Amino acid sequence: MESIGVLMACPMNSYLEQQLENRFKLFRFWTVPDKSSFLASHKDSIQAVVGNAFAGADAKLIEALPKLEIVASFSVGLDKIDLAKCKEKGIRVTNTPDVLTEDVADLAIGLMLAVLRKLCESDRFVRSGKWKRGQYVLTTKIKGFLFPFVHFVSVPFLTSTIFQLFQFTGKRVGIIGLGRIGMAIATRAEAFSCPISYYSRTEKPEIKYKYYPSVVELAANCDILVVACALTTETHHIINREVINALGPKGVLINIGRGPHVDEPELVSALVEHRLGGAGLDVFEHEPEVPEELFGLDNVVLLPHVGSGTVETRQAMADLVIGNLEAHFLKKPLLTPVV
């Protein structure tokens, strides 16, 4: 298979890159200065494209590669691939489901804890030396009110720093999209005695959780709203001003889906104006650009799209990409077919 041309859309994973180079004729698209000329020169040799959550295969790229047979995504999401164009041209599409489910669900719970318990802010408090200089005051929510619980340090204090730390156990968790990842998040949240509810395109009769027929209703009836659905035309900006206002000043938004699920300017204004209680964000609308207004907020936790970012999971994802490519060119059944 060394003669089969594979176009890698952008830098993804060193293990994946090495495995592709060992098996195929690998082209690194991000290193090409003149992409149009490159595609014109190699259009008859490239038979596969490997993409991810940042770059895939749009209609323009697909049209430029007449010999393209398969697009393998190093991601579970497919929003960077023109699926309609692939179906039209008979191009196979694969992704990497299941292997990343547990890591993404773990991270969602981690974000909930980090936002509610102010883990990042508390870490900075210690690292900055403030703990040595002053009083450390915690506050907890009891029946809608905040009461201080004071922990004194053993040295004379000069200042007082107040953190509003909220309990996670028992919070109502609403999940948008109850697929593999959504279900894994629900199972974990249940271990914290959290009542679970959900929104999806259709109700799932076999699921015991409370179903709401709209995202607004779901937001109005939960403390933590988690975005775990696929990004489609219908789910673009599914988190808008109405949903944010329904979630309210005590609510927390967690996004481990895709950045464009959220109307980012509306989210920023809601957080700045305290119309939303907090947010844990692993994804952003224009990655790697992040609204600078978020940097100074202590009720927000920001991560650089690392939901599946463990060594073990990224290797398993890479193995799936390689396995799908090999299966296709050996005329065997694909491991994780989408199209």
Give the residue numbers marked as catalytic: 258, 287, 305
Which amino acid is present at 127?
R
Q: Is 70 left (phi over 0), alpha (psi -120 to 50) or beta?
A: beta
Measured between alpha carbons, how far is 267 from 249 in angstroms, rounded to an integer?
A: 12
Other CB atoms closer than 10 Å to residue 264's CB: what's the count?
A: 20
3-state secondary structure 115-130: HHCCHHHHHHHHHCCH
Amino acid at 143: K
Q: Are strands 46-51 and 70-73 parallel, antiparallel or unpaired?
A: parallel
Distance from the first to the final alpha carbon of the chain:
22
Amino acid at site 273? E
DSSP H helices in 203-296: 215-220, 241-247, 264-272
Does the CA dihedral 247-80-103-179 come out positive or negative?
A: positive
